[in-house]
Structure 1
Amino acid sequence: MTDAADLADRVQDGDLRLYELEEHADHETAATARRLLVERETGADLSAVGQYAFDAADADANIENAIGGAQLPMGVVGPVEVDGGAAAGEYYLPLATTEGALLASVNRGLSAIRSAGGAQARVTKNGMTRAPVFRVQGIVEAKAVVEWVEENVDRLREAAESTTNHGELLDVEPYVVGDSVYLRFAYDTKDAMGMNMATIATGEACELVEDETPADLVALSGNLCSDKKPAAINAVQGRGRSVTADVELDRELVEERLGTTPEAIEEANTRKNLVGSAKAGSLGFNAHAANVVAAAFLATGQDAAQVVEGSNAITTIEERGDSLYASVSIASLEVGTVGGGTKLPTQAEALDVLGVRGGGDPAGSNADELAEIIAVGALAGELSLLAALASRHLSSAHEDLGR
C-alpha cells in the first residue's frame, strides 16, 4: 500500500503532480498526502481539515486536489407551515452560516408567519438557461440565422434532448448584436439544478446550428445565460426557478411579535428596499434575501456561486388597515435535489430534514418544493430585518446576541 508521506515526498521532489496522486493511491491516502505536503510547505496545521464525514472517493465528482473538508456551523429554523404548489405541511429549514444572529432573526420572522397560519408559495416559472454566442459576417447573416432558429426549434429540441433522459428544451430566444448572434436556450431540468445538463444539451444543438447556418460557434456560454453574475435579464426573465412567497399578518400580531407597526415596516421597505435600491442601481430590491439563500445553499449542497442570482429578489410590503401583506419574489433561484453537492452526507441529511432528497414524483416536484421553502425562509428574514430596522432594534439585537 502506498504511503501518504512517500507520495508527499515525491510531489516535493517533482516526480508527481498534485492532481496525479489518485493514480498511485486510494482517494483517502491521496488527500492525506496533499495535507502533509501543504503542512510542510506552509507550516499550517490541517488536522481539523482532515476530519470529515464523507469518503474522499465519493467527493471525486465535486472537488479536485482534495485535502479534506471545510466545516460550517449548521442550525435549523422553524417549523413553519407552507402552502405551496409543491410544498405542503410543516417544515424545519436547515441553514449553514457563520453569521451570528441570522438564524435568530429568520426564526423570529417564521414565528410570526407560523402564528398567522403559515405562508403561501408558488414557483411561477422554471427554466435553466445556456446562451452560446456565434460569429457571422454581418446583419444579413445574423437575420438568416435567427429565421432558421425560429423555424427549426423542433430540430434543435431533438438534438438537445438526445443528450439527456430528463431535460426538456422549453425555448430558444435569439439576440443579435452586430456580427454576434446569441441563442438563449431554456430547459426544464426537473429535480437537477441542471447547469451541466443544459451545457451538454446546448453543445449538441450548436452543432446543428453550425451545420445548417452561416454561424460559427465562438463560445458555448456567451454570458447572456447569465450564470453566476448580476444580470438584468435574469431579473426580468428568470433563471432556474422564479418563486414567490407571501403572507398576511394581523396588525396585533405585527405589534406583538415584531415590535412595530405595519405602517413602519411598509415605510422602511419603501425607503430602503425600493427607493434606496433604485438609487443604488441595485438588481435586488430586498433587505438581505441572499443571507437565507446562501445559508440554505450551503446546508443543502447547492452551487454556492449562484447566490449571486438568488439575491435577485423584490420584497413588497403593503399596510392593509388591520393587517400587513408581505411578499418576496426571487427571480432566479437555481436549486436541485439530485446531483452535485446534494449527494454529500451532511447535505443529503439536510435535504432529508426537508423531505426532498432525490428525484420527486412527478419529476421536478422536489426541487419546486425546496425552492418554495427557501422563499418562505427568505420572506421570514425580510420581515424580521425590516421590523428590526423600523423599531431601531437592529444594533441592539446584534449586541444582545454578542455578535
Structure 2
Amino acid sequence: MTDTDAAALAERVRDGDLRLYELEEHADADTAAAARRLLVEEHSGADLSTSGDYAFDAADADSNIENMLGAIQIPVGVVGPVEIDGGAISGEHYLPMATTEGALLASVNRGCAALNTAGGAGARVLKNRMTRAPAFRVADVAEAEALSSWVRDNVDALREAAESTTSHGELKEATPYVVGNTVFVRFAYDTKDAMGMNMATIATEEACDVIEAETTASLVALSGNLCTDKKPAAINAVEGRGRTVAADVTIPRETVEETLKTTPEAVAEVNTRKNLVGSAKAGSLGFNAHVANSVAAMFLATGQDAAQVVEGANAITTAEVDGDGDLYVSVTIASLEVGTVGGGTKLPTQSEALDVLGVRGGGDPAGSNGDALAEAVAVAALAGELSLLSALASRNLSSAHASLGR
C-alpha cells in the first residue's frame, strides 16, 4: 500500500465512482482502510493517525466489521494468577481483562488474592443452551394449542432439520409459548465451543420451514424476542442462555479480616441489603454488585460479542457466614454467552488473550474450551464481587479510588 494508492481510491469515492463499502473490491483491505481514513478526516477534520496504527492485517477483520478505517485500542491487563478448581479449567491462571475503568483490575486482583489465600475458587458450568425463538402467526387460540402440541410431538423431526445445517450444534429443546394467536417456539442448542448465535439462527430457520410445511402456522419473525438476545429478560434469568455458570469460595475469617479488612458478618449484611434487598426494590434483573464489570472486561479482551454483556450481568451474588464463622460467597451467572471459536476470537490480540487462558480454538472434547472460558469469567466476577463488597463493608471504597487517582 502507498499513500498514492489510498488517495486515488478516496478520489474515486468523492467522484461517485465507488461506494464506501466497495473499496475492498478494488484494493487490499489495508489500502481500503487508509482511503476511508482520508475521506473521514477530510469530512470531519479529525486526525485518525492513531486509529490507523493497528498491529494486524485489515483483512483479518473482514468477517468482523464493515467499512473498516482502523482500530480502537483498549488497554489490556491481567489479574492473578488465581487458583481455579473448575469442571473444565484448573490450576493457576492469569485472567486477561480489557477496560478503560481505572481501579477495576486492582479491585479484581485484590479479590483474586483473597481467593488464593482460601485455596482458590470452585467453578462449574451448569447448563449450555444457546436459544433462538421465532414467532409464528396462527388463526386463533385453538390453532395455537394445536401448533404447540405438534411441536412437542415432533421434536425429533425438528432436530433432524436443524442439525442438518451444522456439524457441531445439537438441538436440545423446542418449547412452545402461546400469546393469543402468536406462538413462540424457543429452540435451545448446545453449540459446543462457539458462542453459537449464528449457528442457532441458521439451524432454526431450517426447522421453521418444517413447521410451516406441516402446520397452519406462518413465520412472522425468525427472532421473536423470547430468545432473548442482547436485552434484559427474566426468561434468561430463569431458563438460562449460553452458559449458566457458577463460582464460589469459602474465605477463612482471618483472611477476611487481614486481607479484606472487614468481617464475614459485615460482608454478608452488605450483600443482603445491597445486592438482594436493594436490587429487589429497584426491580433489577441482576442481584449483584458489579458483575458486568468483570464480564465486559473479559469479553473485550477475548473477542466476545460486547453487546451480550447485558445478559452476562444477569447474575446473583450470595454471601453468608458458615457454621465455622467463615465467609461463603458465590456468583451464579444465568446467561453468559461466550465462545472460543468464531467471531472476534479470531482477531490476533483477542486470540493472544485466549492463549493466556489456554482455551483458544476448539476444545477436546468439543465444548470444553467454551466451558473453561465461562468458568474463568465467573471466577473473575467472583473476585470482583468479593473485593467490592469488602470495600463497602469496610467503608474504604472512596478512599481506594482516591488513592489510585481514579
Q: Following TM superposition, by how much is the alpha carbon of 1:13 offset from its aligned partner in structure 2, in angstroms?
A: 2.2
Q: Which residue of 2 aligns with 1:107?
A: 109
Q: Which of the numbers 253, 256, 259 marks the counterpart of 1:257?
A: 259
Q: Which runs of 5+ in 1 are unaligned?
A: none
Distance in 1 between residues matched to 2:52 and 2:371, nearest whole Å? 35
Q: Which of the numbers 385, 393, 398 marks the counterpart of 1:390?
A: 393
Q: Which residue of 1 aligns with 2:371?
A: 368
Aligned partner of residue 245 in structure 2, secondary structure: strand
Residues 285-326 of structure 1 show CA distances to partners (whole Å, capped at 9, x for unaligned) of: 000000000000000000000000000000000012420000
Distance in 2 between residues matched to 1:83 and 1:285, nearest whole Å? 24
Q: Following TM superposition, by how much is the alpha carbon of 1:88 offset from its aligned partner in structure 2, in angstroms?
A: 1.1
Q: Which residue of 1 aligns with 2:52?
A: 50
Q: Which residue of 1 aligns with 2:195?
A: 193
Q: How does 1:262-281 map to 2 (within 5 A)?
A: 262-281=264-283
Q: Which of the numbers 153, 159, 162 marks the counterpart of 2:164?
A: 162
Q: Which residue of 2 aligns with 1:338?
A: 341
Aligned partner of residue 48 in structure 1, secondary structure: coil
**Counterpart code for 2:42:** R
Q: Following TM superposition, by how much is the alpha carbon of 1:7 offset from its aligned partner in structure 2, in angstroms?
A: 1.4
Residues 254-301 of structure 1 show CA distances to partners (whole Å, capped at 9, x for unaligned) of: 000000000100010001000000000000000000000000000000
Distance in 1 between residues matched to 2:357 and 2:396, nearest whole Å? 31
Distance in 2 between residues matched to 1:100 and 1:57, nearest whole Å? 32
Q: Which residue of 1 aligns with 2:351?
A: 348
Q: Which of the numbers 377, 381, 387 marks the counterpart of 2:380?
A: 377
- Report the number of matched residues: 403
Which structure 1 residue ranges, 4+ long, deviate > 4 Å from structure 2? none
**Counterpart code for 1:323:** D
Q: Following TM superposition, by how much is the alpha carbon of 1:6 offset from its aligned partner in structure 2, in angstroms?
A: 1.4
Q: Which residue of 2 aligns with 1:41?
A: 43
Distance in 2 between residues matched to 1:225 and 1:393, nearest whole Å? 41
Q: Which residue of 1 aligns with 2:29?
A: 27
Aligned partner of residue 296 in structure 2, secondary structure: helix
Q: Following TM superposition, by how much is the alpha carbon of 1:10 offset from its aligned partner in structure 2, in angstroms?
A: 1.7
**Counterpart code for 1:169:** L
Q: Which residue of 1 aligns with 2:222?
A: 220
| Correspondence 1:146 to 2:132 | no
Q: Which residue of 2 aligns with 1:295?
A: 297
Indicate the percent of aligned positions where both proteins have the same amino acid.
Answer: 76
Distance in 2 between residues matched to 1:55 and 1:182, nearest whole Å? 43
Distance in 2 between residues matched to 1:203 and 1:72, nearest whole Å? 37
Q: Which of the numbers 82, 85, 96 marks the counterpart of 1:83?
A: 85
Q: Which of the numbers 131, 134, 154 marks the counterpart of 2:133?
A: 131
Q: Which runs of 5+ in 2 are unaligned?
A: none
Distance in 1 between residues matched to 2:56 and 2:140, nearest whole Å? 53
Distance in 1 between residues matched to 2:343 and 2:124, nearest whole Å? 25
Q: How does 1:237-252 map to 2 (within 5 A)?
A: 237-252=239-254
Q: Following TM superposition, by how much is the alpha carbon of 1:15 offset from its aligned partner in structure 2, in angstroms?
A: 1.9
**Counterpart code for 1:387:** S
Residues 165-216 of structure 1 show CA distances to partners (whole Å, capped at 9, x for unaligned) of: 0000000010000110000000000000000000000000000000000000
Distance in 2 between residues matched to 1:261 and 1:315, nearest whole Å? 17
Output the aligned Cα RMSD: 0.8
Q: Which residue of 1 aligns with 2:6?
A: 4
Q: Which residue of 1 aligns with 2:234?
A: 232
Aligned partner of residue 353 in structure 2, secondary structure: helix
Q: Following TM superposition, by how much is the alpha carbon of 1:400 offset from its aligned partner in structure 2, in angstroms?
A: 0.3
Q: TM-score, normalised by structure 2?
A: 0.98
Q: Following TM superposition, by how much is the alpha carbon of 1:12 offset from its aligned partner in structure 2, in angstroms?
A: 1.8
**Counterpart code for 1:223:** N
Distance in 1 between residues matched to 2:372 and 2:198, nearest whole Å? 21
**Counterpart code for 2:190:** D
**Counterpart code for 2:386:** L
Distance in 1 between residues matched to 2:14 and 2:259, nearest whole Å? 60
Q: TM-score, normalised by structure 1?
A: 0.99
